[in-house]
């Protein structure tokens, strides 16, 4: 039996079940020291936004509680990460460090540095796939190049998909004789100075147990109607698992296996939902193969698109005061809950880039700061898809009509009444742009880059 401890470095995998890094440490049959290192400065241009920090603080608290129930502790340190891990190794006498991989460009570079330094010291340093069904570099087309179209990518993924059996959370964890010093979660400054997150608490339960409850609710209440109801913002027709998946409180493998078990009872709902898991895989795949994509369009001709700088209208969009009730409802839902229904995200994003001609990067940055499920891969894919400048993007000329979208997907007006209550008892506000005129401007702008 090895007496030297193992470090498990937690990041966006804040769970104990189906966690490959935890399982690897447990298999060593030695003391296990869980550690979280707060180093937002190492995230490049994308440190966690305000809403993400709120969620992170609560998720860390839940993870800490789960560890304490198993006789363990969560050790919290500040970065730089390489130095923090090295110091903790020296303090504890650890001879192994395990973690689950991340795929954001800045994190990949940082993790490679950490792994190299640990191995130079003779330590066992191993990383695992704890968040995706398939590693991005394993899926290529017949020419050995990355796919650019979702359908072909997903078809290739399904031929290779082999999710391992899920491992339950360990019931007890071996502890070291002496625990290293730890910061308190409150010392990380994750909570907002002004309590603007009261609406978040009404809606969300961060943590592994909250993720499990959300999945159970989805299976019982929404899966059967998912193919149709997922597009209706006025009802709870989606899984709402996105923030739990981003923070790794539940793995995509766990969700995949659980939904597959319901296939015989509800094939249509299961197939429709599993395809959305596929889109999440595609988002990470694109980010891995195109690390520049959070700032640069995959279709390079969009570098010449005549984007506008319009602070007044941009502010109106952010505050939900565009005069288009579906757009405004979505932006207010985002402000109050840290989340927005996916159909409404598409409409609101399209309004910004097509009606207002404001750059998709500006919209992506706003979502990054305000979404509790802000995820660099998914955020980038979504905004480039709507703008028409990404892989497998919508036809470049598609311009959502917010009024028609409202009539089609919120025909009873329930969603809009909830978030824009003044619209029911007062005349419709004058929209900040006319749809027909905005559509013509957008089509001309799109045509201009084709002419070039």
Question: What is residue 115's predicted lDDT score, i.e. its pLDDT?
Answer: 98
Q: Which residues of 309-330 are buried (b: 16+ CB within 10 A; e: fewer)?
A: ebeebbebbbebbbbbbbbbbb
Question: What is residue 104's predicted lDDT score, i.e. its pLDDT?
Answer: 98
Q: For 358, which DSSP code? A: B
- Count up the domains in the chain and report the number: 3
For residue 55, give the nearest of 279, 249, 283, 333 by alpha carbon.
249
Mean pLDDT confidence for 261-270: 94
- Answer yes or no: are the C-beta atoms of 344 and 370 closer than 8 Å: no
Question: What is residue 396's predicted lDDT score, i.e. its pLDDT?
Answer: 62
Q: Are 48 and 112 members of one domain? A: yes
Q: Are 104 and 152 members of one domain? A: no
CATH no. for residue 38?
Answer: 3.40.50.620
Model confidence at 1, in pLDDT bands (50, 70, 90)?
A: very low
CATH no. for residue 393?
Answer: 1.10.579.10
Query: Does a structural domain hold residue 357?
Result: yes
Mean pLDDT confidence for 140-153: 94
Query: Does a structural domain hold residue 316?
Result: yes
CATH no. for residue 158?
Answer: 1.25.40.80
Query: Does a structural domain hold residue 198?
Result: no
- Answer yes or no: are the C-beta atoms of 258 and 215 closer than 8 Å: yes
Q: Are 322 and 249 members of one domain? A: no
For residue 130, give the nearest of 18, 24, 35, 8 by alpha carbon.
18
pTM for the whole structure: 0.96
Question: What is residue 393's predicted lDDT score, i.e. its pLDDT?
Answer: 63
Q: Are 445 and 313 members of one domain? A: yes
Question: What is residue 135's predicted lDDT score, i.e. its pLDDT?
Answer: 95
Q: Are 221 and 331 members of one domain? A: no
3-state secondary structure of 415: helix
Query: Does a structural domain hold residue 335?
Result: yes
Q: Are 122 and 220 members of one domain? A: no
Question: β-pairing, 75-78 with 6-10?
Answer: unpaired
Q: Are 270 and 367 members of one domain? A: no
Query: Does a structural domain hold residue 181?
Result: no
- Final residue before a domain boundary, out of 223, 255, 289: 289
3-state secondary structure of 93: coil
State pLDDT tens for residues 57-75.
Answer: 999 999 999 999 999 999 9
- Final residue before a domain boundary, out of 289, 323, 343: 289
Q: Among the listed ranges 2-11, 56-65, 203-212, 394-403, which one has the minimum average pLDDT value?
A: 394-403
State pLDDT tens for residues 71-104.
Answer: 999 999 999 999 999 999 999 999 999 999 999 9
Query: Does a structural domain hold residue 147?
Result: yes
Contacts 24+ apart (CB under 8 A), 64-69: 64/185, 66/16, 66/169, 66/207, 66/208, 66/209, 67/16, 67/34, 67/173
Q: Are 419 and 313 members of one domain? A: yes
State pLDDT tens for residues 105-126.
Answer: 999 999 999 999 999 999 999 9
Q: How many CB atoms lie within 10 A of CB 243?
A: 24
Q: Are 217 and 235 members of one domain? A: yes
Measured in residues, the chain has a length of 452
Q: Are 378 and 331 members of one domain? A: yes
Q: Are 144 and 94 members of one domain? A: no
Query: Does a structural domain hold residue 191?
Result: no
For residue 358, give the nearest of 319, 323, 316 by alpha carbon.
316
Segments forming the whole domain that contains residue 335: 300-451
Model confidence at 163, in pLDDT bands (50, 70, 90)?
A: confident
Q: Are 159 and 47 members of one domain? A: no
Query: Does a structural domain hold residue 294?
Result: no
State pLDDT tens for residues 219-243.
Answer: 999 999 999 999 999 999 999 999 9
More confident residue, 392 or 154: 154
Q: Tokens for 100, please give them.
A: 């689950």
- Final residue before a domain boundary, out of 264, 289, 314: 289
Written as one string, the DSSP assignment of 19-63 is -HHHHHHHHTTS-EEEEEEE-GGGSTT----HHHHHHHHHHHHHH
């Amino acid at each position: 039996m090895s007496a030297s401890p193992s470090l498990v470095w937690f990041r966006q995998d804040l769970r104990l079940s189906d966690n490959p890094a935890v399982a690897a440490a447990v298999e060593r049959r030695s003391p296990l020291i869980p550690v979280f290192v707060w180093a937002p400065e190492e995230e490049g241009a994308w440190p966690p936004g305000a809403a993400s920090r709120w969620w992170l603080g609560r998720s860390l608290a839940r993870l800490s509680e789960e560890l304490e129930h198993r006789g363990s502790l969560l050790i919290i340190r500040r970065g730089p990460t390489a130095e923090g891990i090295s110091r903790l190794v020296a303090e504890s006498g650890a001879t192994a460090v395990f973690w689950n991989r991340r795929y954001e460009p800045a994190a990949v570079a940082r993790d490679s540095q950490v792994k190299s330094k640990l191995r130079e010291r003779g330590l066992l340093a191993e990383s695992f796939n704890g968040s995706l069904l398939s590693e991005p570099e394993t899926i290529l087309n017949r020419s050995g190049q990355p796919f650019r179209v979702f359908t072909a990518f997903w078809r290739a993924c399904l031929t290779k998909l082999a999710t391992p059996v899920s491992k339950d959370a360990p019931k007890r964890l071996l502890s070291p004789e002496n625990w290293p010093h730890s910061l308190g979660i409150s010392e990380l400054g994750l909570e907002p100075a002004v309590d603007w997150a009261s609406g978040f608490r009404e809606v969300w339960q961060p943590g592994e147990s909250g993720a499990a409850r959300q999945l159970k609710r989805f299976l019982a209440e929404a899966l059967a109607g998912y193919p149709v109801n997922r597009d209706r913002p006025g009802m709870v027709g989606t899984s709402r698992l996105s923030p739990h998946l981003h923070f790794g409180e539940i793995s995509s493998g766990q969700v995949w296996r659980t939904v597959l078990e319901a296939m015989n009872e509800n094939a249509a709902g299961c197939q429709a939902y599993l395809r959305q898991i596929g889109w999440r895989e595609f988002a990470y795949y694109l980010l891995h193969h195109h690390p520049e994509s959070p700032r640069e369009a995959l279709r390079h001709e969009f570098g010449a698109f005549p984007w506008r700088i319009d602070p007044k209208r941009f502010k109106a969009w952010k505050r939900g005061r565009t005069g288009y009730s579906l757009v405004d409802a979505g932006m207010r839902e985002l402000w109050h809950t840290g989340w927005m229904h996916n159909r409404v995200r598409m409409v609101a994003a399209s309004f910004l880039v097509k009606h207002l001609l404001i750059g998709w990067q500006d919209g992506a940055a706003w979502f990054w700061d305000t979404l509790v499920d802000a995820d660099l891969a998914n955020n980038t894919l979504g905004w480039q898809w709507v703008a028409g400048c990404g892989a497998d993007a919508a036809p470049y000329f598609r311009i959502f009509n917010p009024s028609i979208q409202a009539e089609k997907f919120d025909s009873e007006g329930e969603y809009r009444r909830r978030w824009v209550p003044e619209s029911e008892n007062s005349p419709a506000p004058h929209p900040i742009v006319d749809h027909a005129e905005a559509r013509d401007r957008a089509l001309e702008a799109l045509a201009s880059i084709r002419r070039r």
